[in-house]
Amino acid sequence: MLVVGLANPGREYEDTRHNAGAWYVDALARSRGVSLSEDKKYFGLTGQFSFEGNTVRLLIPTTFMNRSGQATAALANFFKIPVQQMLVAHDELDLPPGVIRLKKGGGHGGHNGLRDIISRHGNQKDFLRMRVGIGHPGDASKVTPHVLNKPSRADRDLIDRAVDEAVHHSADILRGDAAGAMNRLNGFKA
């Protein structure tokens, strides 16, 4: 399985809302004692661990968000990981901070990272998405500054609690029980 956390590269974006997907992969890596390291061949920070006899590969692309598929395709193609065995964690405007949802398939919903991943994987959309709520600023013209800025301390605490809950249920996802994980996660609110 490939678990991807979407983000923009560089210190200036590290703590911005758009990097909420990477916060999940960082937390999952920490929970498994994995250090992520840069691998230019896969255009990202990578790591791996074994779970119930299977290799789980972690990836945080170091490309900009709208080029995320460059990283996912490079790693998935090399290790022959089908799209159906990919989990992509990303920020979600349509959910408030503290809410996390897991779903399978669907469109990109205007998210440029998802749009590029779908495109680079031959328009296949049948992968899991971990949607990390970051809230909506209320006006479409404010979306870009909203996602590229840091959340308030209170919102970050809510996001972190939701990410911790997702990490807690990651074993279900990794063993193929996405439906069970959805039942437990999709009702969670920090």
Instruction: Identify the pLDDT of residue 110.
Output: 85
Residue 69 lies in a domain: yes
Residue 9 lies in a domain: no
List, for residues 40-74, the tens digit of each pLDDT value: 999 999 999 999 999 999 999 999 999 999 999 99
Instruction: Identify the pLDDT of residue 109.
Output: 86
Sign, Cα dihedral of 53, 160, 19, 178: positive
Instruction: Identify the pLDDT of residue 36.
Output: 98
Domain count, the chain: 1
List, for residues 135-189, the tens digit of each pLDDT value: 999 999 999 999 999 999 999 999 999 999 999 999 999 999 999 999 999 988 9
Contacts of 42 (CB under 8 A, 6+ apart): 59, 71, 74, 75, 78
Residue 86 lies in a domain: yes
Write the single-letter amino acid at 37. S
Look up the CATH number of the domain holding residue 119: 3.40.50.1470
**Looking at the annotation, which residues are catalytic?**
18
Residue 26 lies in a domain: no
Which domain range does residue 71 map to?
34-141+154-185
pTM assigned to the model: 0.96
Cα–Cα distance, 36 to 58 (Å, whole number):
8
List, for residues 10-40, the tens digit of each pLDDT value: 999 999 999 999 999 999 999 999 999 999 9
Residue 52 lies in a domain: yes
List, for residues 71-109, the tens digit of each pLDDT value: 999 999 999 999 999 999 999 999 999 999 999 999 898
Residue 181 lies in a domain: yes
